[in-house]
Copies of this chain bind each other. A is one copy, B any other.
Amino acid sequence: LDLDLKSGELLGSPTNFEVRYTDLAGRIARLETPHGVIETPAFVPVVHPVHQSVSPKFLKSLGFDAIITNAYIALEHYGDIARKRGIHGIVNFDGVVMTDSGGYQVLEYGSINVNASTIAQFEKDIRSDICVPLDKPTGYGLDYHTAKNHVEQTLTNAKDTLSLVLENSNESEISRQDGAHEPIWAGPVQGAEHFDLVRYSASELDKMGYTIMALGSPVEIMETYEFSILAQMIASAKSVVPTKPIHLFGAGHPLTIPLAVALGCDMFDSASYMLYAKDDRYMHANGTARLEDLSYLTCHCAVCTKYSSPKELFDSNKEIRTIEIAKHNLYILKTELNTVKQAILDGRLWEYVIQKSRAHPKLMESIEILKDSNLLGPGTPIFKQRAIFFYDPLDQHRPEALHFRKMVSGFISTKSDGGQGKLILYPDSSVHPFYATRDFKKLAKKFPEAQICTYNRFLGIIPSEISDIFPAAHNLSAKLTTYQANNYNTFVESLKEFLTKNEFEEIIILADQFMKNIITNNKSVLKKFNTKVFDRVGDITSVP
C-alpha cells in the first residue's frame, strides 16, 4: 500500500477544513462535508439508529448541524435497507451524519462479529459524511503492552480501511470526481494515558492521510475525573497533528468542553445528554446534579420554564421526564459551545477556561497544562481587539504575556549611556499607554536622560517606548495581596534580564507593596546598582 499524498485527498482533503479564528489552541473553523458545512467547535449528539427518544428534528432546531450514529448497529438492524435509503433516511436527519464504527461496542462487549473492511464498506454504502474505521478502544487503565496491542490493531484496521477506500475510488473514478459522495474519514487515535502511544497512533494515522483525528474513549477517564490525563492525552495528539481537526469521542461532560477546545479539540460527540437524563442527572454550567438534589432550576430553557421547581419535573412520569431532562441537557451543551466560541472571538478563552476550571479541584489541577507555550502560543493572536484580564499567578503564563516578555528581552535601551544611565521603574496603572500619562510626563521632564519603565506583575518590565504595544496597553490587572510576590517568578526573570541586557548605574523605583516584596526577596539582583526606593511619585520628582 503506497501511502502517498493522493490517499490524503481520498480520505477527505485538508482543504475542506478552513480555520477562521483562533485563540490558544482553540479555533473556530468550517468543515465541509457531502451534506453541508458545519462550524466547529461542534458538539455532535449521539443518535441511536433504531431508538430515538429525542428527535433529530429537535436537534436540528437547536442548531446542532451534525449528529453521530452507530454504523455497526445500523448494519445489524437494517442491513440492505440502510444501504438503499442511506443513513440520513434511516435516522431522518438532513444535516451532517457521522458514523462511529462499533468501536464502542468492542469496548463494551469485547469484540464484534464484523471486520474493518465490512464496516468501512457499509459506512460508504450508507453515504455517511464522516466515517470512522473499526477501532479497538484503549479505554483507561490498560497496561502498556495491552494498550499498544489495541493501538496496533486499530492501525491495521485503519490501513485495511484505506485499501478499501483506494480500491473503491479506482473503480468509480467518475463518482469520485464530482466529489459529492466522498465521505471524510476520521482516524481513530488510541493510547489513552500512555501518551507516547497517543502520539504514535496520531502520527501514523496522519501519515496514512486521515483528515480528522478522532481521539478515542476518554469516557472512563472523565468518569473518574482524571482531567489532567485527559488534557495530556489531547495535548499529545495535538502536538503531532497540529492542523487537522480533532474529534474527541464521548466527551459530553459540560465541564470538559472549554478546556478541550482550548487544547485544540474541534468536535465532540456524546450520548451523555440522554444517558445522564436516564439517571435523572441535570446538567448545569458547572457540571451535573441529581435532579432530586436540586431545589431550584438553574436554567431558563424551554423545558425548565415549564416547571415551577425541580420537584415538579421530578414528579412527572419517568419517560417524559427523561426526554425533558435530555432536552434541557442539550440546551446546556449548545450554550456551552456558543459561550466557548464567543470567548474565542473575544480573545478571552484563557479567562473562560480558568474560570470554568473552578468547577472542580481535579479540573483546576489539569489547567497547569496551559503553561505549555508550545501548545498554546501559535494559535494565540499577537494583537487582540479587547483588553485581556490578569487575575492570579497562573496568568503570568498566558501566551500574550510570554510573547511580550520575549519582545522586551530584545529591547535595548538607548539611554543606558554605557552603564552610566538612570533607570526609573514605576508601577503600572490602569491608565494606558504609560507614555501618554501625566505621571510619565512629569518623570520625563525631571529625568530627560533616564530610561523610564513601568512594571506589571504579569508582564514584567515595560519600557515606556513600547508601552502602547499589546497587551501592555490592553490589560486589566487584579492586584490581590493573597498571592505573594514570589509566585511571580517570570517577573523576577524579566527584571534580571532587563538589568543584564541594559546596564545602568542608578535605579530609581517607585515601589508598591508588590515591588517592595520583590526587592526584599531579590536583594542580590539589585545590590550592584545605586538603588533608590520611593513610596510616592512626589518623592521621586523632588530628588535633587
Q: B298, B389, B394, B487: which contacts A339 (Cβ < 8 A)?
A: B298
Q: B331, B351, B361, B393: which contacts A477 (Cβ < 8 A)?
A: B361
In the bound complex, CA of A359 to CA of B284 (Å): 18
8 A Cβ contacts from A288-341 to B: 294-302, 305, 308, 331-332, 334-335, 338-339, 341
In the bound complex, CA of A300 to CA of B329 (Å): 11
A482 near B368: Cβ-Cβ < 8 Å: yes
B390 near A361: Cβ-Cβ < 8 Å: yes
Instruction: Tell me if A342 is interfacial: C-beta within 8 Å of chain B.
Output: yes
B482 near A394: Cβ-Cβ < 8 Å: yes
Residue-wise interface mask of A (219-233) relative to B, using a CB-CB cutoff of 8 A (1 in contact, 0 not): 000000000000000
A365 near B302: Cβ-Cβ < 8 Å: no
Residue-wise interface mask of A (360-377) relative to B, using a CB-CB cutoff of 8 A (1 in contact, 0 not): 111011001001000000
- What is the oligomeric copy number? 2
B389 near A361: Cβ-Cβ < 8 Å: yes
B302 near A360: Cβ-Cβ < 8 Å: no
Q: B299, B361, B389, B479: which contacts A476 (Cβ < 8 A)?
A: B361
Task: Select from chain B the residue with minimum beta-carbon distance to A333.
Answer: B300
A389 near B365: Cβ-Cβ < 8 Å: no
* Chain B CB within 10 A, most for which of A305, A478, A480: A478
Q: How many residues of A are in contact with the other chain, CB < 8 A? A: 55
Residue-wise interface mask of A (385-400) relative to B, using a CB-CB cutoff of 8 A (1 in contact, 0 not): 0000111111001000
A476 near B360: Cβ-Cβ < 8 Å: yes
A342 near B295: Cβ-Cβ < 8 Å: yes
In the bound complex, CA of A487 to CA of B295 (Å): 37
Task: Select from chain B the residue with minimum beta-carbon distance to A332.
Answer: B300
Instruction: Tell me if A481 is interfacial: C-beta within 8 Å of chain B.
Output: yes
A123 to chain B, nearest CB (A): 31
A339 to chain B, nearest CB (A): 4
8 A Cβ contacts from A224-244 to B: none
Query: Can you list 17 residue pairs at the A/B interface with Cβ under 8 Å?
Result: A294-B342, A296-B338, A296-B342, A297-B338, A298-B342, A301-B305, A354-B358, A358-B389, A358-B391, A360-B476, A361-B476, A368-B480, A394-B480, A394-B482, A482-B487, A484-B487, A487-B487
5 cross-chain pairs, A with B, having the tightest CB-CB distances, nearest first: A361-B478, A296-B338, A355-B358, A300-B331, A364-B478
